[in-house]
Amino acid sequence: MFGLDSPGCAPVGIAAGPDGALWFAEIGAGRIGRITPDGDVTHHPLPDAAARPHGVCAGPDGRVWFTEWAGNALGSVDAEGEIRRYELPEAASEPHGLAIGPDGAVWAALEAGALARVTP
């Protein structure tokens, strides 16, 4: 077991990244984490600590994508920690899970009863 540095960080989503590490969302800490097979952990704080990141997946663009459940956005981060945000057009969409489609677009399931598609 690998402990994290913040009580209440509440990791929820996890996915293998394009860099050989595992990436995870820390919904309670507003961060995206990265852990190597050796257990080295890096944290990438989101611009909005209250965004409640949830789902995580590796994208075809070499970035790791995530949902911001309370931030009404999708985001991506690279191994250096550069974060990009893509706000969703409808308020309170509450994005949860996400996947990469066969066309390379990022798809997210929204609690608001819809799907969102972002083309990187």
Distance, in Å, from the CA atom of 70 to the CA atom of 86, rounded to the nearest integer, reads 13
Which amino acids are annotated catalytic?
A: 96
Number of residues that this document lists for the chain: 120
Distance, in Å, from the CA atom of 17 to the CA atom of 21, rounded to the nearest integer, reads 6
User: Do 57 and 15 touch, CB atoms closer than 8 A?
Assistant: yes
Q: Which residue has the tokens 């985001």?
A: 75
